[in-house]
Amino acid sequence: MDAIEITGGKPLHGEVKVSGSKNATLPQIAAALLSPGASIFRGVPDLADIRALGRLLSHMGARVDREGGLLRVDASAVANPEATYELVKTMRASVLVLGPLVTRFGRARVSLPGGCAIGARPIDQHLKGLEALGARIELSHGYVEAKADRLRGAKVLFDLPTVTGTENLMMAAALAEGQTVLENCAREPEVIALAEALNGMGGRISGAGSSVITIDGVSALRPMDIEVIPDRIEAGTLLMAAMITGGDVLVRGAKADHLDAALAKMREAGAKISEESHGLRIVAPQKPHAVDFITAPFPGFPTDLQAQLMACLSIAKGASRVVETVFENRFMHVQELSRMGADIAIDGHTAVVRGVANGRPARRGHDRGAARLPP
String of contacts with ligand UD1 for each residue 262-301, x by CB under 6 A: ----------------------------------------
Length of the chain as a residue count: 375
Restricting to residues 74-93, name those near ligand UD1 by CB under 6 A: 92-93
Task: Give 121 or 204: the residue with its C-beta nearer to ligand UD1.
Answer: 121
Nearer to ligand UD1, 83 or 123 (CB): 123
User: In this complex, which beta carbon is closest to ligand UD1, that of residue 161 or of residue 203?
Assistant: 161
Between CA 283 and CA 169 the distance in angstroms is 41
Residues 171, 219: Cα–Cα separation, whole Å: 13
Of residues 73 and 315, the one with the C-beta less far from ligand UD1: 73
CA 353 vs CA 101, 241, 243, 334: distances in Å: 45, 18, 17, 10
Beginning with the edge strand found earlier in the chain, give each strand of the sheet holding 248-252 in spatial order. 13-17, 248-252, 279-283, 272-276
Residue 326 engages ligand UD1 in binding (rule: CB under 6 A): yes
Nearest Cα to Cα of residue 288 among 332, 320, 334, 326: 320
Shortest Å, Cβ 10 to ligand UD1 = 30
Figure out which of the listed residues 21, 28, 103, 162 binds ligand UD1, where binding follows CB under 6 A.
Answer: 162
Under rule CB under 6 A, residue 126 binds ligand UD1: yes
Q: How far is the CB of 29 from ligand UD1 (least distance, A)?
A: 11
Smallest distance from ligand UD1 to CB 277, Å: 29
Measured CA to CA in angstroms, residue 292 lies from 21, 216, 224, 326, 353 at distances of 27, 42, 42, 16, 9
Give the full edge-to-edge strand order of the sheet including 63-67.
63-67, 70-74, 38-42, 225-227
Instruction: Report the 10 Å Cβ neighbour count for 221.
Output: 25
Given the complex with ligand UD1, which of 19 and 245 has the nearer CB atom? 19
Q: Which of 48, 116, 220, 371 is catalytic?
A: 116
Amino acid at 363: R
- Residue from 43, 134, 165, 253 in contact with ligand UD1 (CB under 6 A): 165
Beta strand 107-111 with 82-83: parallel, antiparallel or unpaired?
parallel
Our finding on whether 304 is near ligand UD1 (CB under 6 A) is yes
Check if 116 is active-site.
yes
Nearer to ligand UD1, 98 or 250 (CB): 98
Q: How many residues bind ligand UD1 (CB under 6 A)?
A: 22
156 binds ligand UD1 (CB under 6 A): no
* DSSP output for 296-336: -STTSB-GGGHHHHHHHHTTSBSEEEEE--S-TT--HHHHH
Query: Quick one: 119 or 374, whose CB is closer to ligand UD1?
Result: 119
Q: Tell me the closest approach of the beta carbon of residue 167 to ligand UD1, in angstroms.
A: 7
Q: Are 225 and 32 in contact (CB under 8 A)?
A: no
Residue 102 in the binding site for ligand UD1 (CB under 6 A)? no
Out of 53, 60, 83, 123, point to the residue binding ligand UD1 (CB under 6 A). 123
Which DSSP category does 120 fall into?
-
Q: Distance between CA 179 and CA 189 in Å, rounded?
A: 23
3-class SS of residue 242 = helix
| Site residues (CB under 6 A) for ligand UD1, limited to 179-198 | 186, 190
Q: Which residues are catalytic?
A: 116
Residues that bind ligand UD1 (CB under 6 A): 23, 26, 92-93, 119, 121-126, 160, 162-165, 186, 190, 303-304, 326-327
